[in-house]
Amino acid sequence: MSDYVKRPAKRIDNSEGRVFRGRSEIIDRLRSELSGDSWSIALETYPGVNEDKMRELLEELHPDLIVSTGQILKDADQLEVLLQNILTDDRVFGKMYYGELADFIDPVKADFFRAKIASCGGKVAVCGFGASLLCDSGLCIYADMSRWEIQLRYRAGMSNCFSDNPEEDILKKFKQGYFLEWRIADKLKAECMDRMAYFIDANRDDDLVMISRDLFEEALIKEASEPFRVVPYFDPGVWGGQWMKKVCGLDPDKPNYAWSFDGVPEENSICFDFDGTILEMPAMNLILRYPEKLLGRKVYARFGAEFPIRFDFLDTMGGQNLSLQVHPTTEYIHRQFGMAYTQDESYYILDAEEGACVYLGLKEGVEIADLIAALEEAQKGGMPFDAEKYIKKIPAKKHDHFLIPAGTIHCSGSGAMVLEISATPYIFTFKLWDWGRLGLDGKPRPINIERGSKVIKERRTGWVMENLVSRFSVVEDKENYTQEHTGLHELEFIETRRFTIRDHADVDCHESVNVLNLVEGTSCLVESIGGEFEPYEVHYAETFIVPESVGKYRLRAVNGPVKVMQAYVRN
């Protein structure tokens, strides 16, 4: 039986009278807030929240006027022009949008409804994405949803908020969310946090949970002051393997699981247990609300309210090779996509079958022009690409660590369980060769040879073996533990350390948020050296986060020695 916890939740005590579960309790609470013959309420929603369900909630309050924010958007043809400039014709990539929701609102329509609201003189309710902009006084409620739930709803036929596109390619829907909708929604959400009176978990239409503003703050402050885990999610893929099924306790009847996000706060959610009632919210809320407490003063000054470190799983145990790929350089990603930093990464091998390997860097004597020509011929249907002729194939075994600075051609071969440690911009992968496969949707997977050709660095076997393959060096060797430096490369801003703990180790945050994973052993405790929080137990393969505000903390082995990988931002 797996000890891996798939839905971790932080317990928050003494929440009585501040948690409201189900429509009846929520409506009763709102009625108590909205007394008299004249009031206004703005129910702000994150894109993806079921606005029809939210409107039904407000209708139970019997307002004299109810307005949906879809009525104030620009006309479809105007939106299409705006979207085209941001999203481009590319199936996967757009340009990061740093504007605001107001850019998509028709000012004439907005003024019309503001005047209508002002002249109502009675009970007014406004609902939807942008409700707080249309109704800027009165009671404000925020209804939120995890990004994973949004993606599942895209697959089930939900449209993007600025488009009527239920049948659209899922990659294009995700692109619109990633490059545009989530950016402006997070900006508006941060503003609403200062005004809202209540927060609603709207991930489940028939099981809404609402909490008061003070409880929302209390929960996030606790999360930013103690170790915690995000809620992981798992997904199949054409190359997926079988390892996570057993170790993470997943559905054994599924064909495979290819990857998991467990340690990506900009994508994962967090859960709270309020005296038995579970509430889920995007972990991004913690970053937006208490970035300095979570990230640390120096990391926040450098990256702003963004979480720069990402841990995820890539499972090819009993599966196939990943696509051969390369990540853009910092200059390229900034110039082409508006991103401030790129996806430097590494592969830590959690487990491996006999014969497992990693493809990493060019072979000696290979010219990039010849490599690109061979890739293009294969993509056009000519001779299949001979990866081993051009790319160094390196045997991989358990606990090896391969460093992959941006611009390095790479992929994991079959038979490996990879803990991928990287910078956050995960979508920017230029696939160069996918072994002739189709995606699970039956469509060819996106190949980006043209983009990739512009960022591949001339990193050949000699340099790769000297700089990027299992560069362990002992930092401390004490009776209770050994600490090793294991990367990342000097070109990357993330530092990784591996602790082999025989009893306990006192660990420094290094003035940065820490992301860690228990890579060997059954479990360990994260303890407060000064007693500020209760011991926090983590199990094999679980990723956990220690906020910078914790400072020093103690890792204690349980049931025998353990190994823990630690990542933080270098000063």
The single-letter code of the amino acid at 424 is T
- Check: CB of residue 134 under 8 Å from CB of residue 125: no
Read off the tokens for 7: 């839905």
Read off the tokens for 293: 């407490």
- Check: CB of residue 158 under 8 Å from CB of residue 174: no
Q: How far apart are CA 330 and CA 407, in angstroms?
A: 9
Read off the tokens for 92: 């996967």
- Confidence at residue 490, expressed as pLDDT on a 0 to 100 scale: 75
The contacts of residue 214 (CB under 8 Å, 6+ apart) are 18
Read off the tokens for 428: 């920017």
The contacts of residue 478 (CB under 8 Å, 6+ apart) are none
The single-letter code of the amino acid at 96 is M
Helix runs in 260-314, H state only: 284-289, 291-295, 297-303
Q: Where are the beta strands (DSSP E) in 5-136?
A: 10-12, 19-21, 39-45, 65-68, 123-128
Read off the tokens for 333: 């990603």
Domains of the chain: 10-223 (3.40.50), 233-467 (2.60.120.10), 473-569 (2.60.120.10)
Helix orientation angle between 22-33 and 51-59, rounded to the nearest 10 degrees: 50
Distance from chain centroid for Cα 193 = 21
Q: How far is it between the farthest Cα atoms of the chain?
A: 81
Which helix H or strand E contains 565, and what residues bound it?
strand 562-569
Total count of residues recorded for the chain = 571
Coarse DSSP helix, strand, coil percentages of the chain, rounded to the nearest 5 percent? 30, 30, 40
**207-233 pLDDT per residue, tens:** 999 999 999 999 999 999 999 999 999
Kindly give the parts of the chain with pLDDT less than 70.
1, 426, 488-489
Q: How far apart are CA 316 and CA 17, in angstroms?
A: 48
Angle at the Cα of 270 (from 265 to 272), degrees rounded to 5? 160
Q: How far apart are CA 40 and CA 130, in angstroms?
A: 15
Q: How far apart are CA 300 and CA 308, in angstroms?
A: 10
Read off the tokens for 189: 């959400």
Block residue for tokens 């430097």? 344
Closest CA to 413 of 382, 438, 388, 378: 388
- Confidence at residue 524, expressed as pLDDT on a 0 to 100 scale: 98
Q: How far apart are CA 482 and CA 497, in angstroms?
A: 10
Q: Kindly write down the DSSP assignment for every residue of 137-206, as one continuous string.
A: SSEEEEEE--HHHHHHHHHTTPPPTT---TTS-HHHHHHHIIIIIHHHHHHHHHHHTTT-SEEEE-SSTT
Neighbours of 32 (CB within 10 A): 8
The contacts of residue 205 (CB under 8 Å, 6+ apart) are 50, 53
> Which SS3 state, helix, strand or coil, does residue 215 take?
helix
Question: What's the half-sphere exposure (Cβ side, CA atoms, 13 Å) at 109?
Answer: 14
Q: How far apart are CA 173 and CA 171, in angstroms?
A: 5
Q: How far apart are CA 338 and CA 428, in angstroms?
A: 12
Block residue for tokens 């706060």? 265
Output phi, psi for 495, to 5 deg. -105, 140
**333-391 pLDDT per residue, tens:** 888 888 887 888 999 999 999 999 999 999 999 999 999 999 999 998 888 999 999 99
HEC assignment per residue over 457-482: CCCEHHHHHHHCECCCEEEEECCCEE
- Check: CB of residue 469 under 8 Å from CB of residue 357: no
Output phi, psi for 46, to 5 deg. -80, 145
Q: How far apart are CA 43 and CA 18, in angstroms?
A: 18
- Confidence at residue 1, expressed as pLDDT on a 0 to 100 scale: 66
Helices (H) and strands (E) in the chain — how many of each? 18, 31
- Check: CB of residue 220 under 8 Å from CB of residue 536: no
Question: What's the half-sphere exposure (Cβ side, CA atoms, 13 Å) at 56?
Answer: 10
Closest CA to 565 of 499, 505, 476: 499
- Confidence at residue 424, expressed as pLDDT on a 0 to 100 scale: 79
